[in-house]
């Protein structure tokens, strides 16, 4: 069945979605994600704040071939980046002669961090993403230059640190000072933009499980980022994916690291509360 809501029917988008979205491959599959003997939870009951009943990792919407790439850490090409970052972790950089390891010792000391991000940051009076935290370490503690948001070293490092939380449930603060940012992110999520006049929700809430042309739409969960995308033949950040989505609907994307994308990241993370961190995930 094609879902067409009352609001939809009134606008042209309804026609677009109705004809583009075919129910041929409806719903996520029932495969289990087992990595190195460990079962990774890929679906849970949706958090109370969610409009959905049940939430699913994007892994459940991919083909068996793509799924299998993530089930073995050797075959997962994202681990090339993890290996590279492990070397960077030990390498001193900047005027203070420090490496990441100088303060944090083993990277496993950061287990759990990824599951809580973005989180409220008193120092800047706004939520901090992992990229923000890494760059603060670099500039304030190491006396090194900040990395670019999508710079290889940065994406690799976010993959290594996120991997330490693999299997842990996403658990992001949504109240207190984060509440305002959640509202801001929610507004962005439901606001139609671009020449195609679409919002995040049009695809990822109203039509997940359906086909949009040849793509099997997921819920747009971000628990597996940074993700190794076959299309990119490499790892990319959450904000890179947001940017790609906005370009697809012919909107002017926000900048990586912008307040808009940080708010959207926080809100989308909250929609995935309870899903396990999967980094580095593999998608098409």
Partner 1 sequence: MKLSRRKVLALGAGFGAAALTGLSTSGIAFADEAATQAAIDAFAAGAEVGEGRISLTAPEIAENGNTVPISVDVESEMTEADHVAAVMILASGNPNPGVITFNFTPMNGVAAATTRIRLAKTQDVIAVAKMSDGSVFMDKKLVKVTIGGCGG
Partner 2 sequence: MATKPRVKVPKKAAAGDVITIKTLISHAMESGQRKGKDGNLIPRKIINKFTAEFNGATVFSADIEPGVAANPFIEFNVKVMESGTFDFKWLDDDGSEYTSSKEIAVE
- Separation between Cα atoms, residue 124 and residue 238, nearest integer Å: 21
> Could you say whether residue 77 binds partner 2 (CB under 8 A)?
yes
The residue (of 169 and 234) whose beta carbon lies closer to partner 2 is: 234
> Could you say whether residue 80 binds partner 1 (CB under 8 A)?
no
Of 73-81, 208-216, 239-247, 253-261, which part binds partner 2 (CB under 8 A)?
73-81
Angle, helix 259-271 to helix 178-190, in steps of 10 degrees: 90
> Could you say whether residue 37 binds partner 2 (CB under 8 A)?
no
Residue 145 binding partner per list partner 2, partner 1, none, with a CB distance cut-off of 5 to 8 Å that depends on partner kind: none
Q: What is the 3-state secondary structure (H, E, C) of the chain?
A: CCCCCHHHHCCHHHHHHHHHEEHHHCCCCCCCEEECCEEECCEEECCCCCCCCEEECHHHHCCHHHHHHCCCCCCCCCHHHHHHHHHHHHCCECCCCECHHHHHCCHHHHCCHHHHCCEEECCCCEEECHHHHHHHHHHHHCCCCCCCCCCHHHHHHHHHHHHCCCCCECCCCCCCCHHHHHHHHHHHHHCCECCCCECHHHHHCCCCCCEECCEECCCCCCCCCCEEECCCCEEECHHHHHHHHHHHCCCCCCCCCCHHHHHHHHHHHHHCCCCECCCCEEEC
- Separation between Cα atoms, residue 142 and residue 164, nearest integer Å: 22
Q: Measured in whole angstroms, how far is the alpha carbon of residue 81 from the centre of its chain? A: 17
The residue (of 8 and 89) whose beta carbon lies closer to partner 1 is: 8
Least spacing, CB of residue 35 vs partner 2, in Å: 15
Of 13-21, 95-103, 122-130, 270-278, which part binds partner 1 (CB under 8 A)?
13-21
- Separation between Cα atoms, residue 158 and residue 152, nearest integer Å: 10
**Known catalytic residue at 245:** yes
> Could you say whether residue 75 binds partner 2 (CB under 8 A)?
yes
Residue 183 binding partner per list partner 1, partner 2, none, with a CB distance cut-off of 5 to 8 Å that depends on partner kind: none
Residue 15 binding partner per list partner 1, partner 2, none, with a CB distance cut-off of 5 to 8 Å that depends on partner kind: partner 1
> Could you say whether residue 80 binds partner 2 (CB under 8 A)?
yes
What would the x/- binding string for partner 1 be over residues 17 to 36, using CB under 8 A? -xxx----------------
> Could you say whether residue 244 binds partner 1 (CB under 8 A)?
yes
Start-to-end Cα distance in the chain: 25
> Could you say whether residue 147 binds partner 2 (CB under 8 A)?
no
Least spacing, CB of residue 74 vs partner 2, in Å: 5
The residue (of 78 and 209) whose beta carbon lies closer to partner 2 is: 78
- Interface with partner 2 (CB under 8 A), residue total 9
> Could you say whether residue 52 binds partner 1 (CB under 8 A)?
no
> What residues make contact with partner 1 under the rule CB under 8 A?
2, 4, 9, 12, 14-16, 18-20, 62-66, 68-69, 77, 196, 203, 212-215, 217, 230-231, 233, 241, 244-245, 247-248, 250, 284
Supply the residues annotated as catalytic.
245
Residues that bind partner 2 (CB under 8 A): 74-75, 77, 79-80, 83-84, 233-234
């Amino acid at each position: 069945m094609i879902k067409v809501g009352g609001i939809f029917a009134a606008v042209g988008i309804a026609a677009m979605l109705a004809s583009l979205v075919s129910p041929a491959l409806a719903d996520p599959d029932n495969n289990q994600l087992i990595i190195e003997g460990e079962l990774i939870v890929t679906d849970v009951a949706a958090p109370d704040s969610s409009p959905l009943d049940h939430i699913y990792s994007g892994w459940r919407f991919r083909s068996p071939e793509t799924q299998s790439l993530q089930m073995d850490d050797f075959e997962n090409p994202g681990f090339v980046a993890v290996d590279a970052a492990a070397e960077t972790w030990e390498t001193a950089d900047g005027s203070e002669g420090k490496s990441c390891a100088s303060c944090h010792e083993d990277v496993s000391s950061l287990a759990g961090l990824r599951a809580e991000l973005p989180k409220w940051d008193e120092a800047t009076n706004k939520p901090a993403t992992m990229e923000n935290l890494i760059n603060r370490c670099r500039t304030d503690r190491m006396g090194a230059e900040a990395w670019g948001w999508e710079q290889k070293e940065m994406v690799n490092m976010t993959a290594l640190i996120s991997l330490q939380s693999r299997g842990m449930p996403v658990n992001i603060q949504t109240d207190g000072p984060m509440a305002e940012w959640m509202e801001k992110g929610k507004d962005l999520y439901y606001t139609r933009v671009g020449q195609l006049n679409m919002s995040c929700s049009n695809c990822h809430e109203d039509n997940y499980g359906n086909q949009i042309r040849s793509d099997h739409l997921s819920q747009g969960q971000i628990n597996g980022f940074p993700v190794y995308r076959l299309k990119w033949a490499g790892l990319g950040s959450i904000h890179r994916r947001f940017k790609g989505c906005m370009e697809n609907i012919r909107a002017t994307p926000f900048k990586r690291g912008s307040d808009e994308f940080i708010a959207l990241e926080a809100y989308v993370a909250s929609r995935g509360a309870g899903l396990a961190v999967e980094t580095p995930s593999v998608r098409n």
